């Protein structure tokens, strides 16, 4: 990490009381823990899903699942009561509450994922159409913790894990990129997340339950599947508990999740549809390095050559 980047990192860390600067050389200090943001992991690449992608479907679930379902129930009552004209109007409102947010969330492009490449030992990210990158070797990350206070829910602990990345072709242009959502996380948890990324890049690609290197991808695949669970499956646990205990408390939980089921199902369907149709286009420099037989040279190295060539051309 160059002097300017190190200065920016220390300056950013000084703004937070509870902060910690992590490096790629911090091996074995804490046990690795897979972040829930892991979208794909294989021998060559680990991708972290964008923050806005994790929230895809929330508006369709809320408006279509709650408002749309309520309007459909009202429509049924009006049809039973014989008020066909008003029932038709309420039905159109229900369709609008379902279709409009669904199309908006599915058709609105998601942000690019964060890519960690073991082949080139670099991290790639795109922001507002610009490519940002940073080499893994000698990387520094900033983890800091803060509390967010709300008048209704009280104080909530949040923690962010950020890395400093530079713009391709303009190495003096830096941004801090968060490796996941901060809500409900702690500084200690972010250290475990960083340990997982270290293990993947330096000892991976596969880890077992104890965080040790293994040749089998089964545990990693199971964890990714668990982290990407469907919200409509949340009813399964209280239903199993109710069948075992037959208690009124578990029956209430089952009824509660039944009420939530339309919203949860729509949320899942919208998110899955948005993920399937999202095809992020990376610049050629990244696409070449994502190929199994592509170059392993780092962007920071070819960037230095480009800057030197540009400087030589200006001198002539």
Q: Which run of H or of E encompasses 48?
A: strand 45-48
When pLDDT is averaged across residues 16-43 and rounded to a whole number, the result is 84
CA separation (Å) from 118 to 46, 207, 303?
8, 15, 19
Map residue 82 onto helix, strand or coil.
Answer: coil
Q: Given a cut of 60, is residue 22 above it in pLDDT?
A: yes
Pick from 178, 234, 194, 272: nearest CA to 35:
194
Q: Given a cut of 80, is residue 269 above it in pLDDT?
A: yes
Q: In which band, very low, low, confident or very high, does the pLDDT at 163 lie, cut at 50, 70 and 90?
A: very high
Pick from 167, 205, 170, 246: nearest CA to 34:
205
Q: Given a cut of 90, is residue 278 above it in pLDDT?
A: no
Map residue 182 onto helix, strand or coil.
Answer: coil
Supply the pLDDT for residue 191: 92
**Structure-block tokens of residue 198:** 């270290």
Q: Given a cut of 90, is residue 46 above it in pLDDT?
A: yes
When pLDDT is averaged across residues 247-252 and rounded to a whole number, the result is 84
> Taking a C-beta distance cutoff of 8 angstroms, is the pair 257, 235 a contact?
yes
> Taking a C-beta distance cutoff of 8 angstroms, is the pair 3, 192 a contact?
no
Write the pLDDT tens digit of every residue in 172-224: 889 999 998 888 899 899 999 999 999 999 887 888 887 788 888 898 988 88
Q: Which run of H or of E encompasses 130?
A: strand 130-135
Distance separating alpha carbons of residues 64 and 253, to the nearest angstrom = 22
What is the maximal distance between C-alpha atoms in the chain? 86
> Taking a C-beta distance cutoff of 8 angstroms, is the pair 214, 207 a contact?
yes
Supply the pLDDT for residue 53: 67
Distance separating alpha carbons of residues 307 and 310, to the nearest angstrom = 5
pTM flag (> 0.95):
no
């Amino acid at each position: 990490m160059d002097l300017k980047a190190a200065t920016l990192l220390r300056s950013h860390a000084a703004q937070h009381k509870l902060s910690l600067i992590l490096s790629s050389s911090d091996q074995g200090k804490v046990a690795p823990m897979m972040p829930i943001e892991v979208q794909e992991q294989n021998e060559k690449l680990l991708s972290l899903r964008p923050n806005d992608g994790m929230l895809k479907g929330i508006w369709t679930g809320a408006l279509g699942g709650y408002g749309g379902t309520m309007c459909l129930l009202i429509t049924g009552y009006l049809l039973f009561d014989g008020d066909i004209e008003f029932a038709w109007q309420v039905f159109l409102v229900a369709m609008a509450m379902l279709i409009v947010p669904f199309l908006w969330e599915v058709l609105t492009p998601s942000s690019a994922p964060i890519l960690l490449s073991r082949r080139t030992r670099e991290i790639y990210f795109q922001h507002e159409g610009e490519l940002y990158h940073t080499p893994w070797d000698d990387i520094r990350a900033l983890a800091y913790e803060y509390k967010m206070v709300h008048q209704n829910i009280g104080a909530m602990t949040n923690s962010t894990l950020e890395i400093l990345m530079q713009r391709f072709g303009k190495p003096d242009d830096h941004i801090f990129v968060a490796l996941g959502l901060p809500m409900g996380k702690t500084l200690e948890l972010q250290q475990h997340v960083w340990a997982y990324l270290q293990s993947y890049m330096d000892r991976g690609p596969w880890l077992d339950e104890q965080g040790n290197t293994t040749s089998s991808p089964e545990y990693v695949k199971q964890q990714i599947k668990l982290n990407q669970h469907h919200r409509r499956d949340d009813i399964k646990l209280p239903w199993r508990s109710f069948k075992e205990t037959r208690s009124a408390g578990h029956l209430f939980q089952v009824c509660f999740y039944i009420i939530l089921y339309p919203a949860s199902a729509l949320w899942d369907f919208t998110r899955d549809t948005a993920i399937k149709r999202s095809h992020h286009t990376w610049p050629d420099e990244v696409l070449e390095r994502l190929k199994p037989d592509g170059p392993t040279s780092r962007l920071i190295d070819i960037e230095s050559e480009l800057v030197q060539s540009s400087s030589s051309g200006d001198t002539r």
